[in-house]
Amino acid sequence: MAKDFIDHLHQTIRLDQKPHRIVSLVPSQTELLADLGLEQEVVGITKFCIYPEKWFKEKTRVGGTKTVDIEKVRQLQPDLIIGNKEENTASDIQALQSIAPVWMSDIETLEDALNMIHSVGLMCEKQEQATLLIQEISEAFGKIQPLKSPKNVLYFIWDEPKFVAGKNTFVDAMIHKCGFINCCTETRYPEWNGTTETIDIVFLSSEPFPFKENHIKEFQNKFPTAKIVLVDGEYFSWYGSRLKDAPDYFQALIQQLT
């Protein structure tokens, strides 16, 4: 029997049956589909969907998150496509909607992420697995002991030009879960305005730009009184099942910076 589902963009999609051929356009959501036990159902992923490694090696890749190969998706004959407002382009999504129902997420908070997991579980008839995962993630985040004395941070996601994570982003939500204060007052991902005052810590993310040890000296020169820290961007920005392990990583980071 056909069922209607509403995505995060308030769009309604109709599925005639449980999806059997799914294309996932977002790395963190691809990993979620794997953890929900949808090995047989997922037929297409992007070249950035590196987890699980077996899927990355064996499943059909349909281009990048922002450069989807529309014809390759069409050839896979999907009955459900799962994307994200921030990671996929509006033009690609519009084209894909002529191929199959497209369910879109829009994630800015932990609550948004848990809602997405619930919705995907419902659509794919993996409600029990999704419910257990949501419970595990919620309990793990409930155990985080944030900084007692909040510290001001800037979180860099790109180099040349230097972009930082601002408000209304999932990264910002994770920063606050740790008890840090995000000193970028602009929304989304603006270019760094050059301000260095009041910054206690600079986070250099491992993705999307792969900051390494060799970048620390440059940023230390720019922020002479701040601590420069390389951080795992997957834990700060992936909003699928990787969230179950994020609190342990955050707690270790908090202890390191206390």
| 165 and 129 co-located in one domain | no
**3: its two tokens:** 């069922």
140, 169, 204: which is the final residue of a domain? 140
pTM of the model: 0.96
Kindly report the CATH number assigned to the domain that includes residue 48.
Answer: 3.40.50.1980
Judge whether 40 and 58 are in contact, CB under 8 Å.
Answer: no
| 24 and 110 co-located in one domain | yes
In a domain, 146, yes or no: no
Tally of domains in the chain: 2
pLDDT, one tens digit for every residue, the chain (258 residues): 799 999 999 999 999 999 999 999 999 999 999 999 999 999 999 999 999 999 999 999 999 999 999 999 999 999 999 999 999 999 999 999 999 999 999 999 999 999 999 999 999 999 999 999 999 999 999 999 998 899 999 999 999 999 999 999 999 999 999 999 999 999 999 999 998 889 999 999 999 999 999 999 999 999 999 999 999 999 999 999 999 999 999 999 999 998
Radius of gyration from C-alpha coordinates of the chain: 19
| 135 and 34 co-located in one domain | yes
| 127 and 91 co-located in one domain | yes
Range of the domain at 53: 3-140
Bridge partner residues of 22 (DSSP): 42, 80
The Cα–Cα gap between 113 and 241 comes to 9
Distance between the two ends of the chain, CA-based, in angstroms? 55
